[in-house]
Amino acid sequence: MKMRELNSYLRESVESLGEVIVDQDFIEYRDAQVELLLPYGRTLEERMIDADYTLLEYILIQRKLVKKSYDKVHDFCVHEYKIDVKCVNTKYYSIPKEKIRNIPWMKKAFENNNLTHFAFYHMNRPLRPLEVDDKITFEYIKLEGADRVLKNLQESKYDGYYYRVKG
């Protein structure tokens, strides 16, 4: 599978989800994920919102559209590709200063062929932790090679680093 085919497959997979209704199984999964997140000075509610962004990978894995990863560097696999999923709410993928220490870790993962791509998407969601019966939709943006993203991270004059995803 080539990158263009992989991009099309992921786009079709995300678009096929339509409207997703949050269920209790995901809430329990999310709450377990919250326990794994480093606080970075964030409140419990903020960490819950962060963990809510695992909904897309959770649904794709549950529907067997992608293969679950047991590695912390990437979220799932499609064939030999190891993909980290990133939700963006602007045209930029941002890495805030408190997470800058993850950049060398991601670069090492790429060098070791443990991270091959980033898949960017937008999640239409409430601005609070997700609850059972919330209706969520996803907009697939694009797939980028991890090498391209990591080589083109720009230092932000505001906070951390960023990569321009759109426009």
Model-level pTM? Answer: 0.94
Higher-confidence position of 134 and 158: 134
Listed by start position, the domains of the chain span 3-164
Q: How many CA atoms lie within 13 A of 25 on its CB side?
A: 4
Residue 101, pLDDT score: 87
Nearest of 101, 100, 144 to residue 121 by alpha carbon: 144
- The encoded tokens of residue 127 equal 């601005």
Of the candidates 153, 92, 91, 80, which has an alpha carbon nearest to the alpha carbon of residue 117?
80
Contact in structure between 127 and 18 (CB atoms under 8 Å): no
Between β-strands 81-87 and 76-78, what pairing exists: parallel, antiparallel or unpaired? antiparallel
Query: How many angstroms separate the CA atoms of 157 and 49, rounded?
Result: 25
Closest by CA to 14, choosing from 160, 141, 154, is: 141
Across the strands, what pairs with 127? none
Q: Which ranges constitute the DSSP H helices of the chain? A: 3-16, 24-36, 44-52, 55-62, 102-111, 146-151
> d(Cα 151, Cα 144) in Å, to the nearest integer?
12
Predicted local confidence at residue 97, as pLDDT: 87
Whether residue 38 has pLDDT greater than 80 = no
Share of the chain above pLDDT 70, in %: 100
What's the pLDDT band for 49 if we cut at 50, 70, 90?
A: very high
